[in-house]
Amino acid sequence: MAATQPAVVPSSGLPASALESWEKSNDNLPLFEAFVVPGHQDTASFGLAWSAPFPVGLRATRKLNLAQSVEAIRKFAESGELRRLAKQHGGAVLIRGLPVETPDDYSKVAHAFGFRPHVEVGRPPLRTVLAPNVKTANEGPPELPIWPHSEYGWSTINPAWLTFSALQLPASGGATPITSAIYIAHELSRLAPRFLAKLSDKGVRYVYRYTVDPLVSNTGTSVRGAYGQTVADDDDDEAAARRKIEAEVRRHSERFEWHDDGSLSVTHIVPAIRIHEATSATVFFGNVTSAWGRSRHHGATRPPFRGDDGSYHPPPTFGDGTQMDVEDLDLLLKLAEEGAVDVEWERGDVVLLDNYAVMHSRKPWKGQRQVLAALWDDDGRIRDFPEGLGILEKSPRVPRTEPDGSLAS
């Protein structure tokens, strides 16, 4: 686990340059100040050249209304200091004390960051659109964890930023652990350099199998839930529906197979070791950890890889199809889980994550919990080593640009 060091927090709460760009109250004090997030880590332990707490916590110094909150965040983002702050603190910012009470409130705050809404291509998790570019986070069963992963790390099409907000807190559990992808790559270089080299050279092969009907699973929507956005249920026959589904699949994979039961397998081969542009650090980017965690949890480590939940959970392999050693997979998952910082939600919290620098997961909970997610695009935040570029040459990348859902912004 990355070493935990005392946070070095400026007495003013933010670096001076940030304060100059942050909206101030009438008494000339900043509207937000930094606070220490319990269990935070030190970015220096990730191999970065500077020491700062991961994540950084910001909280309102006085009661703000929604319009004030949106305007303050908008000005801070437009100044460029938000990006600088995210970089300094490893890509994770927790903002506390905002008057976020509804999905629409959250949508307005999240849009103030100034990113372009991301349109999903292929959707293994079940989500419901509640406000412009705002959806429920994974609606899988609350008793099941979601293992550490990069959002859409299995695809050639992935968002650059994620925002989350908690509107309803459960009776117990439900934290969102976050792990530095920079830290994982750094630790692999130290503990498993041969595994790191293979990941870099070969990439990773992911296989998702979508069933005809949705399953009660954390992976799982149906064929049409994942790729049926353009299918007209009343007008398209099965052949027409399949053509439209295949056109969506081909946005990010030419490797797919229909099965006799109507299910669809889609294979993705993508880089796993990449370069985070903002820090020039090597990062582990992908879903190997979540895929292995699911396979192991559901008893699906052997063919046909159908787990006790009725869904398919094939273990990840290298891009050339060769198996990964169980010891390496266990180490990778251990690093991701033990290196995590738990975000213990308070109502109205907003979290900003750099998807290329930070992995996230979810702990089980009891009671009612509502955490909403929004995905955002921002060009030029990730690049690849020559091996990764070679892998990507064989995998299509055709993002969707039209709004995703009737409430899209």
What CATH number does the domain containing 270 carry? 3.60.130.10
**Does residue 21 lie in a domain region?**
no
Claim to verify: residue 162 and residue 247 sit in the same structural domain:
no
Q: What is the pTM of this model?
A: 0.91
Give the helix/strand (H/E) hosting 69. helix 66-78
Beta-ladder partners of 370 = 168
Claim to verify: residue 158 and residue 205 sit in the same structural domain:
no
Claim to verify: residue 95 and residue 231 sit in the same structural domain:
no
Dist CA 122 CA 115 (whole Å): 21
Dist CA 37 CA 15 (whole Å): 17
| CB 45, CB 2: distance < 8 Å | yes
Claim to verify: residue 146 and residue 288 sit in the same structural domain:
no
Claim to verify: residue 191 and residue 214 sit in the same structural domain:
yes
- The beta strand positions in 197-295, using DSSP E, are 204-210, 255-258, 264-270, 273-276, 281-284
Dist CA 93 CA 354 (whole Å): 9
Q: Residue 239: which residues within 8 A CB-CB, separation 6 or more?
A: none
Claim to verify: residue 275 and residue 193 sit in the same structural domain:
yes
* Residue whose entry in the numeric block shows the structure tokens 């000005």: 75
pLDDT, one tens digit for every residue, the chain (409 residues): 444 333 333 333 444 444 444 555 555 557 889 999 999 999 999 999 999 999 999 999 989 999 999 999 999 999 999 999 999 999 999 999 999 999 999 999 999 999 999 999 987 666 788 999 999 886 678 888 899 999 999 999 999 999 999 999 999 999 999 999 999 999 999 999 999 999 999 999 998 888 898 765 545 578 998 999 899 988 999 999 999 999 999 999 999 999 999 999 999 999 999 999 999 999 999 999 999 999 999 898 888 888 888 877 888 899 999 999 999 999 999 999 999 999 999 999 999 999 999 999 999 999 999 999 999 999 999 999 999 999 999 999 999 887 655 454 4
Claim to verify: residue 139 and residue 151 sit in the same structural domain:
yes
Amino acid 9: pLDDT = 37
Dist CA 140 CA 220 (whole Å): 8
Amino acid 6: pLDDT = 34
In terms of residue numbers, what domain contains 323? 185-333+389-393
Is-cis flag, bond preceding 386, omega within 30? no
Amino acid 402: pLDDT = 75
**Does residue 15 lie in a domain region?**
no
Q: What is the separation, in whole angstroms, between the first and last Cα of the chain?
A: 40
Amino acid 77: pLDDT = 95
**Does residue 129 lie in a domain region?**
yes
Helix spans in 205-275 (H) = 223-227, 238-249
| CB 285, CB 382: distance < 8 Å | yes
Beta-ladder partners of 129 = 135
Q: How many domains are contained in the chain?
A: 2
Amino acid 219: pLDDT = 56
φ and ψ of 377, to 5 deg: -100, 150
- What's the CA angle centered on 295, arms 294 and 299, to 5 degrees? 115
**Does residue 253 lie in a domain region?**
yes
Claim to verify: residue 265 and residue 363 sit in the same structural domain:
no
Dist CA 71 CA 76 (whole Å): 9
**Does residue 23 lie in a domain region?**
no
Claim to verify: residue 199 and residue 322 sit in the same structural domain:
yes
φ and ψ of 284, to 5 deg: -90, 120
**Does residue 13 lie in a domain region?**
no
Amino acid 11: pLDDT = 33
| CB 94, CB 349: distance < 8 Å | yes
